[in-house]
């Protein structure tokens, strides 16, 4: 210290601490000359003493002007040392860096100026202090004083130039510094960071792409900044990196995919679009490398398919198709359970398009990996069943396809039908609005006969008799009217002559007994007209209620449709089909005369040709009883006893159908319904 005082004139030291900048500047110039002379003499001991004096008495002084003088003095010393400055940087730089956090803005300003001048002298040698300089500049980029910001900006440019030309810079040491600050919200700091990323990435000697996963999330975070300029800078940087990824033979898709998946759910539209675009490119570029991330990626894509932004929807759909087109194998790490778990969660999405694509994925997995999917069926089967109540028809149709694929296995088929029976009971509106759609599509995807047999078996033992009746009536109406069930109707028409038809007729009969009108309809289909007459006569007064008449009205209307063309044509031969005629007259007698159905059926019966009977029959028919005269002339072998002994039916068991037993079964079931109705009343 004493050496330094003897070297530097007192006037120089006094002016170095003056409040006027010009005096401090002139003192610094004199100091520069002194240090230059010492350097030429290689008197590094005294140089060290001078720097210590500038540090302790000035740069670290409690007096503001002393600190200002110390900073300009240290810079002057570095300039005076010139090429010799590098060996004294450990003394010169730390006190300057310390002043970057000074409370006085002018001190901070002069610190920037001082380090700028020092760095210009030593260039690459300053790199050893890069981390501290970077930290300081990061803070000063957001300084409250505009002049300090401006000075820091100039220093920053110089440091960038030095770094890009230096082979001493360590990207490995820099990345942790960058990563720590990438989520800072200050716009000035963000601009500072993006600037460094861009500069370093432009240097072919520095592999920023290899470290992209370390700061990628931060860049994406900036895409939603309130500043248009920052958003633009971040987008520009990301665009450049994506182009580099496309041209790179190797990229860490996995780590980046994790980040992109999170950003695809961002509330910011531009961030979502950028993230989903990157995912799309990743699937194209390195789909095979992303096998372990398929579930996460799918979890990001499916919600975006229903995005309110059209551009996002388009990219998401394309990405979804590309991902589904990749045929991955479980042996390669393809986690089928994870994919199913994602699809199951998305079945609860509020958006139709997302639920539909989730079902497409389940269908795809069933087609490609049935054994693996079936082994984890318990994880999502209940959710699939609940989806049958979805408000979207398209979703319901698709989930029925999935169920049909699963229901190839008998236990799951039974479970599906049991669920439907249960849900139709608990949600009457589902049966009313969707029942026909669901049952018809099941009959298309699965065997219609199998579907109806299963429903019949379950409903036969249904404890809720009112519901059983409603359900049977619904199934019966679908059977009579749906184009998808035409083959089933053809089979039932052969009930009296074909073993398969007979077996189906008997199978349905047990549950159809819950509804008189359903049984009558079934017998019309099976052409068991004689049995219809027996059923009509077995009905009691309390059976002919409003519900019955409504169902009867529907049946009369159906008899005039193309489905029953064969029946109407049989009326051309009344003598041959006398029981058909008697059945129709029986229904006519049950209808109120003022009803439209009565008039419709009566009109139809009036059109029955008279040439089918003998003259005597017509005379007796017109005597009062609508069909007593007709029955009088029916051949004895075609008649059935009216006393209920069933002798004719027992003698004429059609291909194994014991109609007497069937009639007892029907009567027994109807008796249960009557008792139930009375108990309810």
Instruction: Report if residue 193 sits inside a domain.
Output: no
Asked if pLDDT for residue 645 goes beyond 60, the answer is no
The tens digit of pLDDT for each residue in 371-387 reads 999 999 988 999 998 99
> Where is average pLDDT lowest: 282-291, 414-423, 468-477?
282-291
Domain termination residue (choose one: 114, 134, 169):
169
Beta bridge partners of 654: 657
Distance CA 562, CA 566 (A): 8
Instruction: Report if residue 321 sits inside a domain.
Output: no
The tens digit of pLDDT for each residue in 549-608 reads 999 999 999 999 999 999 999 999 999 999 999 999 999 999 999 999 999 999 999 999
Domain termination residue (choose one: 136, 169, 202):
169
Instruction: Report if residue 199 sits inside a domain.
Output: no
∠ CA 416-422-423, rounded to 5°: 90
What is the mean pLDDT of the segment spanning 449-468? 95
Asked if pLDDT for residue 630 goes beyond 90, the answer is no
508 shares its domain with 612: yes
Tell me the residue range of the domain where 160 lies. 1-169
165 shares its domain with 23: yes
373 shares its domain with 522: no
Q: For the chain, what is the domain count?
A: 3
pLDDT band at 3 (very low <50, low <70, confident <90, very high): low
119 shares its domain with 63: yes
Instruction: List for the chain the helix, strand, coil content (%; round to 5).
Output: 80, 0, 20
499 shares its domain with 585: yes
The tens digit of pLDDT for each residue in 304-353 reads 999 999 999 999 999 999 999 988 888 788 999 999 999 999 999 999 99
pLDDT band at 409 (very low <50, low <70, confident <90, very high): confident
419 shares its domain with 512: no
The tens digit of pLDDT for each residue in 217-247 reads 999 999 999 999 999 999 999 999 999 999 9
Distance CA 564, CA 551 (A): 17
CB atoms near residue 90 (< 10 Å): 11
Burial (0-12, 13-18, 19+ Cβ within 10 Å), 364: middle
Residue 407 per-residue DSSP state? T
431 shares its domain with 519: no
550: Cβ–Cβ under 8 A, 6 or more apart, which residues?
Answer: none
45 shares its domain with 162: yes
655 shares its domain with 597: yes
Burial (0-12, 13-18, 19+ Cβ within 10 Å), 491: buried
Q: pLDDT at position 64, please?
A: 95
435 shares its domain with 523: no
Residue 639 per-residue DSSP state? -
Domain termination residue (choose one: 145, 169, 193):
169
24 shares its domain with 124: yes
The tens digit of pLDDT for each residue in 477-513 reads 999 999 999 999 999 999 998 899 999 999 999 999 9
Q: Compute and round to an integer the Cα radius of gyration of the chain.
A: 46
């Amino acid at each position: 210290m004493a050496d330094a005082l003897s070297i530097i004139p007192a006037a120089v030291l006094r002016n170095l601490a003056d409040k006027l900048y010009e005096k401090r500047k002139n003192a610094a110039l004199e100091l520069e000359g002194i240090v230059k002379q010492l350097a030429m003499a290689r008197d590094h001991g005294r140089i060290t003493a001078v720097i210590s004096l500038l540090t302790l008495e000035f740069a670290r002084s409690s007096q503001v002007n002393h600190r200002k003088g110390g900073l300009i003095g240290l810079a002057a010393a570095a300039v005076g040392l010139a090429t010799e400055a590098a060996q004294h940087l450990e003394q010169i730089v730390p006190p300057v860096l310390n002043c970057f956090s000074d409370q006085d803005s002018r001190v901070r300003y002069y610190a920037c100026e001082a380090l700028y001048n020092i760095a210009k002298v030593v260039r690459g040698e300053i790199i050893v202090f890069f981390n501290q300089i970077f930290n300081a500049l990061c803070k000063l980029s957001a300084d409250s004083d505009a002049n300090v910001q401006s000075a820091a900006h100039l220093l920053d440019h110089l440091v960038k130039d030095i770094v890009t030309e230096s082979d001493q810079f360590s990207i490995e040491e820099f990345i942790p510094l960058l990563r720590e600050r990438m989520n800072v919200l200050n716009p000035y700091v963000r601009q500072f960071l993006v600037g460094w990323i861009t500069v370093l990435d432009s240097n072919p000697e520095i592999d920023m792409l290899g470290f992209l996963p370390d700061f990628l999330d931060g860049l994406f975070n900036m895409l939603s900044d309130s500043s248009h300029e920052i958003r633009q800078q971040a987008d520009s940087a990301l665009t450049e990196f994506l182009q580099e990824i496309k041209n790179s033979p190797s990229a860490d898709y996995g780590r980046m995919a994790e980040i992109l998946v999170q950003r695809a759910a961002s509330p910011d539209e531009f961030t979502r679009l950028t993230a989903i675009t990157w995912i799309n490119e990743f699937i194209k570029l390195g789909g095979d490398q992303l096998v372990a991330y398929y579930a996460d990626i799918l979890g990001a894509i499916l919600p975006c398919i229903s995005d309110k932004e059209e551009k996002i929807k388009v990219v998401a759909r394309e990405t979804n198709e590309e991902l589904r087109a990749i045929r991955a194998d479980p042996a390669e790490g393809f986690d089928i359970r994870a994919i199913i778990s994602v699809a199951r969660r998305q079945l609860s999405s509020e958006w139709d398009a997302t639920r539909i694509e989730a079902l497409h994925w389940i269908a795809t997995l069933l087609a490609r990996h049935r054994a693996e999917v079936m082994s984890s069926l318990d994880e999502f089967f209940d959710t699939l069943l609940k989806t049958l109540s979805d408000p979207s028809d398209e979703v319901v149709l698709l989930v029925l396809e999935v169920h049909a694929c699963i229901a190839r296995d008998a236990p799951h088929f039974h479970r599906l039908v049991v669920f439907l029976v249960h849900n139709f009971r608990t949600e009457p509106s589902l049966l009313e609005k969707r029942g026909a759609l669901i049952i018809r599509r099941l009959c298309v995807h699965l065997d219609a006969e199998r579907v109806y047999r299963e429903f019949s078996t379950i409903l036969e033992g249904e404890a809720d008799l009112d519901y059983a009746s409603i359900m049977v009536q619904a199934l019966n109406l679908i059977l009579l009217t749906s184009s998808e069930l035409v083959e089933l109707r053809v089979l039932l028409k052969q009930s009296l002559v074909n073993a398969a038809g007979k077996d189906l007729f008997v199978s349905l009969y047990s549950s159809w007994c819950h509804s008189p009108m359903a049984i009558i309809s079934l017998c019309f289909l099976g052409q068991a007209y004689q049995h219809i007459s027996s059923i009509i006569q077995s009905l009691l007064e309390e059976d002919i209620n409003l519900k019955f008449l409504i169902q009867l009205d529907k049946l009369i209307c159906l008899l005039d449709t193309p489905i029953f063309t064969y029946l109407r044509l049989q009326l051309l031969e009344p003598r041959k089909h006398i029981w058909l005629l008697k059945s129709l007259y029986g229904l006519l007698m049950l209808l109120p005369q003022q009803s439209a159905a009565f008039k419709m059926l009566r009109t139809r019966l009036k059109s029955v040709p008279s040439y089918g009977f003998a003259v005597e029959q017509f005379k007796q028919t017109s005597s009062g009883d609508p069909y007593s005269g007709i029955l009088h002339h029916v051949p004895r072998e075609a008649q059935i006893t009216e006393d209920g002994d069933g002798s004719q039916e027992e003698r004429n068991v059609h291909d194994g159908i014991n109609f007497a037993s069937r009639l007892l079964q029907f009567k027994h079931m109807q008796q249960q319904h009557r008792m139930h109705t009375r108990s309810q009343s």
